[in-house]
Amino acid sequence: MSHVTLSDVEWINLNVLAVIRAGLQHDRASTCCKFALDAAQADYLTGLSLDELWSLVFHVGDTTLFPPRADLVTLLSAPRPLAGPMALVHPPAPMESRR
């Protein structure tokens, strides 16, 4: 039996992604408001399987995905082995610069 150990950041990313995915299936508008998601981010996250969420979290590593990054869809759709390096090279922009 295999045992996967996640860091605190990976665990938070996985849980937040799973909560968002479930919320989008139940109440899209409310979930988008709660997590500051735009339509493209919501559409992409809705289409991910749980296995894809695990893969993403594993490959991104100790880089937080939340609050949602402006480049979240780009990062999520990148080849999994590139997701971590891309997240490090392009850190999330502060909330003030997104307005």
| Per-residue confidence (pLDDT) for residue 98, from 0 to 100 | 46
- Cα pseudo-dihedral 81, 59, 57, 1, rounded to 10: 110
Reported as a single tens digit per residue, the pLDDT across 22-76 is: 999 999 999 998 888 999 999 999 999 999 999 999 999 999 887 777 888 888 8
Q: If one looks up domain 8-93 in CATH, what number appears?
A: 1.10.4000
| Per-residue confidence (pLDDT) for residue 42, from 0 to 100 | 96
Radius of gyration of the chain (CA): 13
pTM of the model: 0.69
Burial class, 58, CB count within 10 angstroms (exposed 0-12 / middle 13-18 / buried 19+): middle
